[in-house]
Amino acid sequence: MKRLTLEIESNLSNVSLAAVAINAICAYAGLNQDKANQVELSLVEAMTNSIRHAYHGEPDHRVIVTITLDKEHLHFDLYDTGAPMHVEQVDRLVRGHGIVESENLDLASIAEHGRGLGIIHRTMDEIVYSREGSQNHLKLTRYLAPNR
């Protein structure tokens, strides 16, 4: 098992630094480029949510991502100490409730926001959210085998 912890301050401009590192780690773990991009996208959405929604965009807070690689999994444990996720958001993220599978293609009805949780739900194999004291803990797992 190998482990690395990344920490960024809660400024959206820091997310890309962590994201490109995560993409490289996905490639190191054996994921092909398309799947590495998917995982990077999920982690970008998750870190952005922490900054925007848990910390309400306030600077000077920490977002921590611990990456654990074993033979069959790539685990990402995200921690922040911001506001907890709402129950409806957890349902959307973990169980996919409320994700529109086939949006009406009428442009006027297409939302500009609100796709982040659905993207994470569709691209990660396991999603667990927990509130641990004053901390949010989001555990995202991507399987590595058999078809990486």
Footprint of another protein (CB under 8 A): 11-13, 15-16, 19, 33-34, 37-38, 40-41, 44-45, 48, 51-52, 102-103, 105, 107-108, 110-113, 115-116, 118-119, 122-123
- Whether 4 contacts 22, CB under 8 Å: no
Backbone angles phi, psi at 139, to 5 degrees: -105, 115
Q: Which residues pair with 75 in a beta bridge?
A: 68, 141
- Whether 14 contacts 57, CB under 8 Å: no
> At closest approach, how far in Å is the CB of 27 from another protein?
13
Residue 58 or 72: which CB sits closer to another protein? 58
> At closest approach, how far in Å is the CB of 11 from another protein?
8
Amino acid in the structure at residue 92:
R
> At closest approach, how far in Å is the CB of 34 from another protein?
6
Residue 71 or 102: which CB sits closer to another protein? 102
Give yes or no for a cis peptide into 59 (omega within 30° of 0): no
> At closest approach, how far in Å is the CB of 73 from another protein?
22
Q: Which of 92, 95, 75, 88 is nearest to 137 (CA)?
A: 75
> At closest approach, how far in Å is the CB of 25 from another protein?
16
Backbone angles phi, psi at 45, to 5 degrees: -65, -40
Residue 70 or 100: which CB sits closer to another protein? 100
Residue 102 or 147: which CB sits closer to another protein? 102
Residue 23 or 136: which CB sits closer to another protein? 23
As a whole number of angstroms, the distance between CA 64 and CA 115 comes to: 22
